[in-house]
Structure 1
Amino acid sequence: AAIAAEYGRCLPVHTRLFTQNDLYSLYEMLAAAKRSGGRLLLSHFVYQYSGFGTLRPALDVVDAARAKGMDVWMDSGMYTDWATYAGTATFDEQTIKDNSLRFGDMVAATGKYTGTRLNRELYELLRHKYPDESIICYSGEPYEIYEALQKPYAMMSTDAGAYAPGEGHPQIAGSYPRFLRKMVREKRLLGLEEAVYKCTLLPAQTYHIPGKGVLEPGYDADLVLFDRDAVRDNAKMPDKGEPDAPPDGIPYVMVNGVFAVDDGVFQNTCSGSVIRY
């Protein structure tokens, strides 16, 4: 935190919570950020503090910190159902017990068992023979997503990794179209302009990334053309459908002035560039 503050950079953090009702992890990072005086970004917030009635108290803590002048922001996604590798401490048996999780609420997200709900036998197999495969855990309450993303200091994120075709978590293909469908069109919790801001300019401002987030001469030509009345996520959990199904209503995506999606078809272009300060 001190090094990030020294260089004027944002510090994005996954807090080290021990259970799903652990707020100590939040206080710990806020204390580090306060001592450093730097900017803190609490990443994929709903995944960490959803369930067991923890989200609202967690948001209250962040609100209080910001009210006292702390430079604190957060990103969050459109799913409470989280995923990580089978061999990590997250799926230690003691951690499962401490969080009152059940094998039947877990599904293999990658590998030969993709889409299969776990039982004790499959859990043991994945843990010991396939520790690098991912598991999705069904958790949390959908309303918590909307509470988090309505905060003015909250921006959209996916927490997505690279998956083989037909595998993985639907967040990699569904997050942003789901955000526009749910938050703007169906529930009307955000206006279209504010929703777009949370996906574009707010992240650019939070990270101090030049040339991004606004349609202005001289800025990078990163453009998304979507139909607000038709945009829809089609990605499903691997036990319910295709986790990488492309969305509807997004015919064109341009990265650095080059079409990455043209007439709804992914072009497999590599026109982006690494951002270096």
Structure 2
Amino acid sequence: MKLRLFFAFLLAATATAADFDLLITNARIADGSGKRLVSGSIAVKGRKIVAVGEIEGTADQTIDAGGKVAAPGFIDVHTHSEDICQNPVAENFLRMGVTTIITGNCGNSRTDVAKFFQEIGEAKVTLNVATLIGHNSVRKEGMGGIFIRAPDEAQLEKMKALVDQAMQDGAVGLSTGLIYVPGSFAKTEEIIALAKVAAKHDGIYVSHMRSESVKIFDALDEFMRVLRESGCRGEVSHIKLSGPTAWGKAGELLAVLDKARAEGLKITHDQYAYTASSTGLRQLIPDSALEGTREDYLAKLADPKQKADILAKMAEIRERQGRKDYGYAVIAKFKADPALNGKSVAEAAKIVRGSDTLDEQIELVLDIEARGGASAIFHGMDEKDVQTFMQHPLTMIASDGGPRRPGEDVPHPRSYGDNARVLGRYVRELKLLSLEEAVRRMTSLPAQTFQLKDRGMIKAGAFADIVIFDPAKVNDPSTFDDPHHYAEGFTDVIVNGGAVIREGQLTEVRSGGPLRLK
């Protein structure tokens, strides 16, 4: 009797068990390859997609896409998210369809990658998180400070060891920020030595090059030399032309890259869909003034001869870029005086110093750095160049942003709207790209470039990172003046099979985690 009851229970359990954990039906599928949309369903079991197309079977959870587009979760290859554990939900990324981020860009990263990944796992993040190992961070730790000189032999060996350990721990490559101190002090040979270590682990070399203005072609020569001599694949970070004197050269720049590719170099590039950049306001100050400690900087300002040299170099930078003043720079985050957030340097000078003359703007910039520094938005690119770069098939879409908390500071809108802006403005309105091609640039191309195994495609065997959106409603309400608005049009976001956003609502699911280079 007991045996019959057991088999009856087993039969009932077998009969009621669902075939899939999740079934997405009535979707128009953009599979990430760039091929045309096809109608069908997507079945998920555990963390992976198990079937695509016409699917029969039951599921514990069913999402009726209602004719909306289902695509692989977007992969943002250029973020600054070292603080992801302090904001593990990172809702601004999710709301524009991003399910995977790569941090550690522009030379700045956590140097202990194993510890960073452990913290990510403990923080219960919503996203998949990969990281690069940053040259600037490695240089500071390896040399024990910020120095204008080259490292000695022992220091270089320590730097190489830091890169090697980071790659062993799962970093996807090496990044540089060669306009930033102390990376700007490094000679090309130093970069090559470290890139060789990354290449040994099949990592990529990702560079914010030494110039994005009139000297960009020299910077590109250096970038390609690093690739040739190290054996690395290469990624040009946030490809752009900054300042009026550099505008109009996008086609020429892409031609140089295409020629290098034809000669055997493996190069891609990423881009955000805006004509303004964002970085530290200190970029307006010559690097030589920033060597050493804060006390060293204050001493230079107090020395009339050294200050005169700083002012002369600032004038050279303005002239080279075709700038008359600093009205194009807008303060985004200044901890010492948040009332200046959202004000241009000219506006802030008027408030703080009573005048917006160039001299007063300069004094304000120098004083802000002395008081701890600020981040800023720089309106410095031309829309025609942005569109030219976007049309190139090897340009990926990346925000250059980070996790945001609504209402905090006045950040660049790209952290809220970048992917949505591409789909809304450049695909739907301007028809610069097809929807399928835009999705490819956000999914399979990044996955292939950074070797994120089984990511970036809707296919059986791939991880179930999936976004569902209405292409007619995708929009980016975030603006420079009023940035704290989530992207619109994304109804469902799935990360590793878990629905982190369902029917437009954030859930309690936290199915992200660290991604290591395989």
* Native 8 Å contact 1:84 1:134 kept in 2: yes
Relative to structure 1, the CA distance from residue 20 to residue 246 in structure 2 (aligned partners, 3 Å threshold; closer, same or farther) is farther
Q: Answer yes or no: is the 8 Å Cα contact 2:498–2:511 preserved in 1.
A: yes
Residue 259 of structure 1 aligns to a residue in which SS? strand
How far residue 153 of structure 1 moved from its aligned partner, in angstroms, is 1.3
2:382 to 129, 132, 141: 141
2:493 alignment partner in structure 1: 253
1:4 — aligned with what? 198
AA paired with 1:245? Answer: H
Q: Judging changes above 3 Å, is the alpha-carbon distance between structure 1 residues 75 and 128 closer, same or farther for their aligned structure 2 residues? A: same
Q: Which residue of 2 aligns with 1:52?
A: 247
Larger radius of gyration: 2
Other-structure match for 1:150: 391
Q: Deviations over 1:78-122 (max 9, x none)?
A: 0121111223x4544354453233311111112412211112164
SS of alignment partner, residue 181 of structure 1: helix
1:99 matched to 2:321? The reply is yes
Q: Distance in 1 between matches of 2:473 and 2:429?
A: 12
In the alignment, does 2:221 pair up with 1:27? yes
CA distance in 1, matches of 2:386, 2:199: 30
Mapped to 2, the partners of 1:212 and 1:262 lie a distance apart of: 21
Distance between the aligned counterparts of 1:254 and 1:59, measured in 2? 35
Secondary structure at the residue paired with 2:514?
A: coil
- Conserved? CA contact 1:86–1:130, under 8 Å: no
1:107 and 1:8 map into 2 onto residues whose CA distance is: 39
Amino acid at match of 1:8: D
Alignment partner, residue 114 of structure 1? 341
C-alpha spacing 1:25/1:268, structure 2 compared with 1 (3 Å) = farther
What is the number of residues matched between the two proteins?
272
1 or 2, which has the higher strand percentage? 2
Q: What displacement does 1:149 show?
A: 1.6
Question: Using the alignment, how far apart are the partners of 1:42 and 1:60 within structure 2?
Answer: 14
User: Which of the two has greater helix per residue?
Assistant: 2
Contact 1:172 1:244 in 2 (8 A): no
> Cα distance 1:158–1:47, how it changes in 2: closer, same or farther (>3 A)?
farther
Name the structure 2 match of 1:225.
Answer: 468
Q: Using a 3 Å threshold, how does the CA distance of structure 1 residues 126 and 47 change in structure 2: closer, same or farther?
A: farther
| Counterpart AA for 1:161 | G
One-letter code aligned to 2:256:
V
* Superposed CA offset, 1:106-143 (max 9, x none): 11112412211112164344222141x21101011112
Q: Is the 8 A contact 2:211 2:219 kept in 1?
A: yes
Give me the whole-angstrom Cα distance separating, in 1, the residues matched to 2:236 and 2:270.
6
TM-aligned CA deviation for residue 249 of structure 1: 0.8
C-alpha separation between the residues in 2 aligned to 1:52 and 1:145? 10
Q: 1:176 aligns with which of 419, 436, 440?
A: 419
Identify unmatched segments of 5+ residues in structure 1. Answer: none
1:147, CA displacement in angstroms?
Answer: 0.9
Distance of 2:470 and 2:243 partners within structure 1:
33
Offset at residue 5 of structure 1 (A): 2.4
- The question of whether the paired residues in 1 share the 8 Å contact of 2:213 and 2:241 is answered with no
Task: Establish whether residue 86 from structure 1 lines up as the match of residue 281 from structure 2.
Answer: yes
Map of 1:175-194 to 2, 5 A cutoff? 175-194=418-437
Query: Partners of 1:44 and 1:169 in 2: how far apart?
Result: 14
Higher RCO, 1 or 2 (CA under 8 Å, sep at least 6)? 2
Partner of 1:43: 237
CA distance in 1, matches of 2:265, 2:252: 18
Aligned partner letter, 1:157:
A
Letter in 2 for 1:17: S
Q: Which secondary structure does the structure 2 equivalent of 1:83 belong to? A: strand
Check if 1:126 corresponds to 2:353. Answer: no
Structure 1 equivalent of residue 442 of structure 2: 199
Shift of residue 190, structure 1, vs aligned partner: 1.3
**1:177-201, CA deviations, whole angstroms, 9 ceiling, x for partnerless residues?**
0011122111112111111110001
SS in 1 for 2:333: coil
Q: CA deviation at 1:235?
A: 0.8
SS of match in other structure, 2:327: helix
Query: Where do 5+ consecutive residues of structure 2 fail to align?
Result: 1-194, 287-313, 347-360
What is the RMSD of the two structures over their aligned residues, measured on CA atoms? 2.2
Aligned to 1:103, the other structure's residue is in SS state coil
Q: Verify the 8 A CA contact 1:222 1:255 in the aligned structure 2.
A: yes
Q: Could you say which residue in structure 2 is the equivalent of 1:72?
A: 267
User: Shift of residue 262 of structure 1?
Assistant: 2.6
Q: TM-score, normalised by structure 1?
A: 0.89
Structure 1 97/272 Cα, relative in aligned 2: closer, same or farther at 3 Å?
A: farther
Deviations 1:3-24 (A, max 9, x none): 2322222211111117444310
Relative to 1, partners in 2 of residues 1:47 and 1:225: Cα closer, same or farther, differing over 3 Å?
farther
Distance 1:259 1:20, change over 3 A: farther
